[in-house]
Amino acid sequence: MAFKTLDEAELSGKRALVRVDFNVPMEDGRVSDDTRLRAAKPTVDKLRAGGAKVILLAHFDRPKGKVVPSMSLGPIVEPLAKVLGVPVAFAPDCVGAKAREAVNAMRPGDVLLLENVRFHPGEEANDKAFANELAANGDLYVNDAFSAAHRAHASTEGLAHLLPAYAGEQMRLELDALDRALGNPERPVLGIVGGSKVSTKLDLLSHLVTRLDKLAIGGGMANTFLYAQGHDVGASYCEKELAETAREIIRLAGKNNCKLFLPLDVVVAEKMAPGAPARVRDPGSIDDDERILDAGPETVERLCRAMGNSKTLVWNGPLGVFEIPPFDKGTMEAARHAAKLAREGKLVAVAGGGDTVAALNAVGVVDDFTFVSTAGGAFLEWMEGKTLPGVAALLDKRLPR
């Protein structure tokens, strides 16, 4: 894709406005997971090495355009400095005199974190006047927050039209990986889509069957497809009202020569509880009081064979209730096999989505996958084929507007 990277930027002495995602988990006022802080380090390091002044823009939570002290970015300063290994200054606003004074005090290589951009209503409204206020403190703009790229906000989209715009290192990795997975993949391409509800992934399923060679459906949403095919799913979660929609997706897959994999067998139990007695059933032989809670061994074996016959894998959503053993077995076995193939260079394996990342972390194979996205909503919208405003703005070279 034709976006500019920092390799093309003149950095020495420049004020670099960098949109990062610091919407991190907090417990008792302290950062409990610094994954997103660490994700920003390569971009910050590259800018500092080039002699730029690094000015970080971020949001935290949903203050809805008002100053909410409990949603300040102030508590992030200390853990961020620890991650970066350098001092981090903090300005109590992202625009106006306080921000300007903090920026003017910077020297090349310094790092400054500005206060929550969502304290201003102009941020989420993508107000041009607010974007201009932000732009006044920068010479160039870097978007390193793919996870916020599906929002057309002032700091994620508006700024890219006002300053020379570049993709940060994390953004570049994300876009390159997704392009390898869906944009220009090595075929055959296999998709795995799991999770509980068909209703939340209609756009995703409808798009993927037009782009993939094979698609495996797992998790609770597979129950709806089994029901649509005439199987009794017992006491399982099932969106029965979407049966015709499921049949339409099956027809669409056939029309586009996408081979659809639905469960051949399932793991059922009467209770969804740790260590609950579980047994394997064929889809047509489920008792009224049984609930489908995982993919069966034959289903997982077929899926692993399909991975072995593919060149690219795109994965979103677990195959079962992976949080509760023994219903994590299907997801864990499939994840281990995908990781092995990726490790051996036989498969480009890209995964994303909150539950998917949690499952891969639980199995301990995140580092073996080609790329694992933590972007959540943006990752899903990309997979759905939707235009992400923050990405589109980086591809737009018109300056100014």
- Residues marked active site are found at 36, 197, 354, 377
Angle at 54 between CA 49 and CA 55, to 5 degrees: 170
How far apart CA 22 and CA 372 sit, in angstroms, is 18
Answer whether the bond into residue 63 is a cis peptide, omega within 30°. no
Answer whether the bond into residue 274 is a cis peptide, omega within 30°. no
Distances (CA, A) of 300 to 209, 266, 327, 393: 20, 10, 13, 41
Query: What residue type is assigned to position 100 of the chain?
Result: R
How far apart CA 80 and CA 45 sit, in angstroms, is 13
- Asked if 117 contacts 123 with a C-beta cutoff of 8 angstroms, the reply is yes
In 131-150, which positions are buried (b, 16+ CB within 10 angstroms) versus exposed (e)?
Answer: bbbbbebbbbbbbbbbbbbb
How far apart CA 61 and CA 49 sit, in angstroms, is 31
Four-residue CA torsion sign, 317, 318, 321, 324: negative
Structure-token pair, residue 249: 């997706």
Q: Report the candidate in 142, 113, 135, 181 with the shortest Cα–Cα distance to residue 7.
A: 142
